[in-house]
């Protein structure tokens, strides 16, 4: 599992966020994967305000209480919305250019840090992982490390809110049945690489997880999973609470 932060010349999303913030517009943020066709992230969506956010995200922000950690803050959209609601939030990101942009946009506590770094120790009441936030876990095999880290970071009674899509729709046949190779790797394990202008990032793992699989792992590590809200496209918001 990677515990580092990114070098500025390997930070394409940060470069796009930085451009959009300083110039009011940005070029193409391209996304490549060995499993999918080339795609693009509209940089503007990374700057969404509360009213532009999907309901799932709005719900997570409403339910967040106490000292809040926004993991992978990006442009700071969620932390800024939390600050406007009068809540106490800290954003971390491995992208140095995103952290610079967050600070310049008024995020009071934005830090360059990797969630999994042993040096990142502090406690919170709510941990937010939004915009397919399960992705940051990377692979199913990282679940033990993820939950161990969460146990260290969460205050008693604390909770994690994370959203994900269940990628099973990609394997749906015309008759509605699902063709999933159960002997292969878990179908939500995706590799991505991003590019913005001349800045190319390294390939990274991103985990999409279905609610049932998430619940099974959560239970194994002493957490209770609850599906708070269902989205419009096989996506959902989950709340994971550490069992007393």
Out of 60, 69, 89, 136, which residue is the one contacting ligand SAH (CB under 6 A)? 136
Q: State the minimum distance, in angstroms, from the CB of residue 170 to ligand SAH.
A: 20
User: Tokens 């008024």 belong to which residue?
Assistant: 106
Give the whole-angstrom CA distance, residue 216 versus residue 193. 29
Pick 84 or 172: Cβ nearer ligand SAH: 84
Q: State the minimum distance, in angstroms, from the CB of residue 72 to ligand SAH.
A: 2
Pick 16 or 240: Cβ nearer ligand SAH: 16
131 binds ligand SAH (CB under 6 A): yes
Out of 83, 95, 164, 215, which residue is the one contacting ligand SAH (CB under 6 A)? 95
Binding mask 29-68 for ligand SAH (x = CB under 6 A): -----------------x----------------------
Q: State the minimum distance, in angstroms, from the CB of residue 213 to ligand SAH.
A: 20
User: Tokens 């279905």 belong to which residue?
Assistant: 210
User: Tokens 């995200």 belong to which residue?
Assistant: 57
Give the whole-angstrom CA distance, residue 162 versus residue 227. 10
Q: State the minimum distance, in angstroms, from the CB of residue 37 to ligand SAH.
A: 20
Contact 161, 57 (CB under 8 A): no
Q: Which stretch binds ligand SAH (CB under 6 A): 69-77, 155-163, 167-175, 213-221?
A: 69-77
Q: State the minimum distance, in angstroms, from the CB of residue 120 to ligand SAH.
A: 8
How far CA 180 is from CA of 18, 116, 156, 208, 226, in Å, comes to: 40, 31, 39, 15, 25
Contact 171, 103 (CB under 8 A): no
| DSSP states along 72-114 | T-TTSHHHHHHHHTT-EEEEEES-HHHHHHHHHHT-SSEEE--
19 binds ligand SAH (CB under 6 A): no
What is the binding site for ligand SAH (CB under 6 A)?
13, 46, 71-74, 77-78, 92-95, 98, 114-116, 130-131, 136
């Amino acid at each position: 599992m990677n515990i580092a932060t990114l070098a500025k010349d390997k930070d394409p999303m940060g470069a796009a966020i930085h451009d959009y913030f300083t110039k009011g517009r940005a070029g193409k943020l391209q996304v490549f994967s060995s499993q999918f066709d080339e795609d693009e992230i509209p940089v503007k969506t990374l700057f969404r305000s509360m009213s532009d956010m999907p309901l799932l995200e709005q719900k997570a922000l409403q339910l967040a209480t106490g000292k809040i950690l926004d993991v992978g803050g990006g442009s700071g959209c969620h932390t800024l919305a939390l600050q406007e609601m009068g809540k106490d939030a800290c954003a971390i990101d491995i992208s140095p250019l995103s952290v610079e942009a967050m600070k310049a946009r008024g995020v009071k506590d934005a830090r360059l840090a990797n969630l999994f770094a042993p040096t990142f120790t502090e406690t919170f009441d709510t941990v937010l992982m939004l915009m397919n936030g399960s992705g940051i876990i990377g692979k199913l095999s990282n679940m033990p490390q993820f939950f161990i880290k969460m146990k260290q970071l969460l205050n008693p009674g604390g909770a994690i809110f994370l959203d994900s899509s269940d990628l099973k729709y990609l394997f749906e046949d015309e008759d509605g049945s699902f063709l999933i190779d159960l002997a292969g790797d878990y179908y939500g394990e995706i590799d991505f690489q991003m590019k913005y202008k001349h800045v190319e990032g390294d390939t990274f793992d991103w985990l999409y997880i279905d609610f049932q699989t998430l619940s099974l792992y959560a239970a194994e590590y002493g957490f209770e999973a609850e599906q708070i809200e269902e989205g419009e496209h096989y996506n959902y918001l989950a709340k994971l609470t550490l069992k007393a």
